[in-house]
Structure 1
Amino acid sequence: MSITTETVGANAERARSHNRQMVLDRVRQAGQIGRAEIARGSGLSTQAVSNIISDLLSDGLISEQGRKATTRGQPPVQYGLNPVGGYAVGIEIRPDAIFATVLDLCGKPVASLRRTLAVHDLNGVTEAVVAAKSAIIEEADLPASKVLGVGIVMPGPFGRTGLSGTGSELSIFHEVSPTDWFTEALNTPVVVENDANAAAVAELVAGAARGLDTFACLYFGNGLGLGLIQDGRLVRGAFGNAGEIGHIPVTSKGRAVPLEAALSRLAVQKHLANAGFDIRSSDGLAEAYAARNAALMTWLDAAAAEPLSHAITIIENMFDPEAVILGGAMPDAIFDHLISSVTLAERSVSNRPGRTTDRLLRGASGRMTGTLGAGALVINRAFTPRIAAVAR
């Protein structure tokens, strides 16, 4: 006997939660869809779909969207997501601040806030997160029953690893499980991911990856991380640390350096500081780019010429994505410059005829990608069918 995993529906009562998520996901992907079409695409019976649709309507998660014109017979009722049927709270923990947002069921932000993080020990960060959750729910004027959960993102890697002490992770969580810790502190369902993983989910739910099933998101945060989506699902690794690409050595100016030492927000800030420019904010970087600051332009050309080009080649040949998305805490103009300047390798599995998507894309979630991703994690979990183990 072997064990396989399937994501097709099952009519057994024990699989109802799985089937409910499957139907929600079908509705989300289609925009508008009828019961018969859901049944055909999911493997569920029409009666099973009808029962689930009835429950989703009662819960307010979907709504009727009119009828689809047909050449004969009664036009079928179409169903779509109800944006106000549920909300997700997203909280991003950065070294100097807490960012929070509320997303509606379609992934649209309805409120956001930023709080300075003055205390950096475990209790201080926890208190700041609890306060941010309360404040953002109050600002959005949400009833507790409408909150699907809280997503929390922070820099990785998680736990003690060979990368500990490099300055990119939040070491205060080395000895505790962040998920268990915040679930108890917030008294609500919590999902915790690193910021690069969250960024990838943000682009999947409501960003540049709409319509893509398998892609990579190169995320510019405190350091440099990689979020991977395979067949619509997040690739986490054994301990949630898949994608720590910032620590892979690449060639830059004739020597081997960690990728994030040559290609990250911290790297450009350090380069500018050495040239006499103290620029710390994204707005400052945008102004410097608009002014064609010579030091910044030199850094961009060097970053695209070797480190970024090398990194894209690694990502493409290791993961075979439909596209690689650049996103995070950098101005759009800088991402556009990097994308237009990079040398895409001919010897790459992504170099193929008949492509319908560019190999490199700019993310659509902007500088708040990590925060939006935190909320998107909750929404994605609500829509993603769990894989059921099936004995053969």
Structure 2
Amino acid sequence: MGSAAVPVVVGIDNGGTSNNATVLTLDGRFLVDRLVETPSEVLAGPEAAVEAMARAFDGVLALTGVLREQVRAVGLDTPGPASATGVISSKGSTNFSQPAWRGYDIRGALERRLGLPVFYHNDGNAAALYAHHVHFGADAMRRSSVSAIVGTGLGGGLIQDGRVIAGAAGMAGELGHVHIPLTEVLAPLQPVPVCACGFVGDVESVASLTGIERNLLPYWLTRFPEHPLAGVSPARAAKLVRDHGERGDELAREIFAQQARALGALFTIAANFTDPHAYFVGGGVMETAPEFRDWFLAAVRQHTRLRAEQAALATFALVPDRDMAGARGVALAALEAVRAEPAPPPPLVGG
């Protein structure tokens, strides 16, 4: 699959259980068309995790037949919160829960391990960047977008003129922790949801797998006490809700309708802050049958309050290539960084 002597960048998407890696040529061709996963070892601590990323790097080069000498840079994404330079939050995160991870410079550690420049984004920003460039193509550098990535938590990303808005501390686009009005989201007498981060009534407390387990499913099982999920452990039941939703199950559709309303409320806020050209939805909630995806995306759009001028220009779409989006997004970021490097000066010619 590889091309001898063609310069490339490598993208590595680091997750809680797996690393996914890809290879992108400097002329914009991905040499990998599927997931290339290896264990991430994040629970074993920083040193083991960095070694696991190095193995992912070596493995994808072997798979594509690319020599190490052809690699110009590496893109890395991890779950947030983390700084723009890849330093994990001092409070840690869901994936990086051990004390050793707090304040750990994961980008710098991988750069030292590989001996190559490493460019960093969090996973929400990476997926958002990929969705933006795939959707807009040649117009990407003249367009803006906002993305919500619904998974265990809720990630996101803001793109302006084709580039990630990182913010002063690198934590812009943490859309999961934006507080939203709940009057049109919750059912009468439904308890106000609490996020795993401690916030009350933010988007992630509703639109995430954790939100289903902690907040939505317990309430809706009181309304459907004979439902098959009533006898299943909360963690497993939350993961089964999506399958029930695909089959049109009433309880599951109520849950996902609430998630769609929450995302609509989030995008309404985004419309007034950034007025983007496009709104993207990705993550596990979208890894479903076409009928369910179309229903869910239509519900998100229905509950996004746009002015007529905005609605005439806005696009609602899915993040493409789902599980590959993170690795591909940071590969694109690395490619842009390499292309922006100044050309070396011409050699001196003796007189």
1:235 to 2:165 alignment? yes
Contact preservation (8 Å) 1:155, 1:168: yes
Structure 1 residue aligned with 2:203, among 255, 259, 263?
Answer: 259
Give the Å deviation of 1:267. 2.8
Q: Which ranges in structure 2 are unaligned for 5 or more consecutive residues? A: 193-199, 222-228, 343-351
- What CA distance in whole angstroms lies between the structure 2 residues aligned with 1:107 and 1:279? 41
1:196 aligns with 2:124: yes
Q: 1:374 to 1:288 in 2, by over 3 A?
A: farther
Q: Which residue of 1 aligns with 2:10?
A: 89
Greater shift, 217-226 or 184-193, is seen at 217-226
* 1:339 partner letter: L
Aligned partners of 1:288, 1:84: CA distance in 2, in Å? 50
**Which of the pair is proportionally richer in strand?**
1
Contact 1:327 1:335 in 2 (8 A): no
The alignment status of 1:352 with 2:309, answered yes or no, reads yes
What is the Cα deviation at residue 165 of structure 1?
5.4
Amino acid at match of 1:117: S
Indicate which of 86, 95, 110 corresponds to 1:182: 110
Partner of 1:317: 272
**How many Å separate the matches in 2 of 1:152 and 1:353?**
34
Q: 1:115 aligns with which of 38, 41, 55?
A: 38
Instruction: Give 1:175 deviation, angstroms.
Output: 2.7
In structure 2, how many angstroms separate the alpha carbons of the residues matched to 1:190 and 1:357?
34
Deviation beyond 6 Å, 4+ runs, structure 1? none
Paired letter, 2:39: T
Whole-angstrom CA distance in 1 between matches of 2:331 and 2:209: 23
Instruction: Give a deviation string over 1:285-304, Cα, whole Å, max 9, x none.
Output: 76444322343212111212
8 Å Cα contact 1:216-1:321 kept in structure 2: yes
Superposed, 1:28-177 pairs within 5 Å as: 85-104=6-25, 105-110=27-32, 112-118=35-41, 119-158=43-82, 159=87, 164=91, 167=94, 172-177=100-105
> What TM-score comes out, normalization by structure 2 length?
0.73
Query: Does structure 2 retain, via aligned residues, the 8 Å contact 1:178–1:192?
Result: no
Give the 3-state SS of the residue equivalent to 1:258 in structure 2.
Answer: coil
Identity score, percent: 22
**Aligned-CA RMSD value:** 3.1
Tell whether the 8 Å contact from 1:218 to 1:226 is kept in structure 2 after alignment.
yes
Deviations, residues 77-126 of structure 1 (Å, cap 9, x unaligned): xxxxx999432211111112222222334253426421233443011111
Provide the C-alpha distance between the structure 2 equivalents of 1:353 and 1:267, rounded to a whole number of angstroms: 30
Correspondence for 1:336: 294
- Work out whether residues 156 and 169 of structure 1, in 8 Å CA contact, stay in contact via their aligned partners in 2: no
Per the alignment, do residues 174 and 353 of structure 1 end up closer, same or farther by CA in structure 2, a change over 3 Å counting? closer
Q: Which runs of 5+ in 1 are unaligned?
A: 1-81, 387-392
CA separation in 2, counterparts of 1:315 and 1:201? Answer: 17
Do the aligned partners of residues 166 and 87 (structure 1) sit closer, same or farther apart at CA in structure 2, a change above 3 Å counting? closer
1:202 and 1:83 map into 2 onto residues whose CA distance is 26
How far the C-alpha of 1:178 sits from its partner, in A, is 2.2
Q: Which amino acid aligns with 2:204?
A: E
Shift of 1:336: 2.8
Output the TM-score relative to the length of structure 1.
Answer: 0.66
Distance apart, 1:195 and its partner CA: 0.5
SS of 1:106's equivalent in the other structure is: coil
Greater Rg, structure 1 or structure 2? 1
Q: CA deviation at 1:181?
A: 1.3
